[in-house]
A = this chain, B = another copy of it.
Amino acid sequence: MIGIVGGVGPYAGTDLLNKIFNNTQANTDQEHLDAILISMSSTIDDRTEYLIGNTEDNPAHAIVKVLLKLEKAGATIAGIPCNTAHSDQIFEVIQSELKKANSTIELLHMINETVAFIADHYPKVTKIGVLSTTGTYKSKLYASALQSKGYEVIVPSLEMQENSIHPAIYHKTYGIKTTSNPIHPQARENLMQGMAFLKEEGAEIAILGCTEIPLAITESNINGVITIDPTNILARALIYKSNPDKLKPL
């Protein structure tokens, strides 16, 4: 059974589960894969607040509790649909605590899956842009993973990151975490400015590196820049590693 750490944020959990269904070869309800999602958002502190030093509570501990609950309920493989949770300061603590608890759940790494997917499917691409929260931006989560594979990485200026991209996700009025049904036009506009910046700087691919961003940018290509949704890649990896015959071809 596939396990999903929901609540980081709440809609990212259901988005991952829907993407698992979307990418599964199934014509009836009964042909779908079994999955369990636990959304305990109240217990998991904000990942960006931890990474930028505004709180000392590492959200890793609460995430591990959810993973162990998923495992107890029957999950054998799991994913966390939150980019920021994959920064080393959080993810390495998750891994070491799972080990201490003698967990055997197979926890996939969304960022590494995304970089591997790009290398497999777009072998000629060299310049990759990333839009993300400020937590992911400052921890250089995608930047390090991409640079270690030889990619040139393009990100917004710090000014654009703090005044435009991060607020598109977190702003109390128009941010996607507050208002996603429908998306506020200001959130979309801020992110589209980010996309235009990445294109100007020569990006061939843009990684939508926060699970909220693909709710506002649903196109697979914007002005010639291919958009990559890591949640979709994680969904495909979870299916492939559970039951490869069930993975829909691209």
Contacts and interface: CB of A to CB of B under 8 A. Distances in A.
A186 interface: no
Interface in A2-42: 6-11, 13-14, 17-18, 21-22, 27-42
Count the copies. 2
Given A38-B36, A40-B34, A69-B73, A29 B17 contact: no
B28 A46 contact: yes
A54 interface: no
Contacts of A96: none
A31 B43 CA distance: 10
A177 interface: yes
A44 interface: yes
A140 interface: no
A30 to B, nearest CB: 5
29 contacts: A1-B40, A6-B37, A7-B34, A8-B29, A9-B29, A10-B21, A10-B29, A10-B32, A11-B18, A11-B21, A14-B18, A14-B21, A22-B181, A27-B172, A27-B177, A28-B46, A28-B177, A29-B41, A29-B177, A30-B42, A30-B44, A30-B46, A31-B41, A34-B40, A35-B39, A36-B39, A37-B37, A69-B73, A69-B74
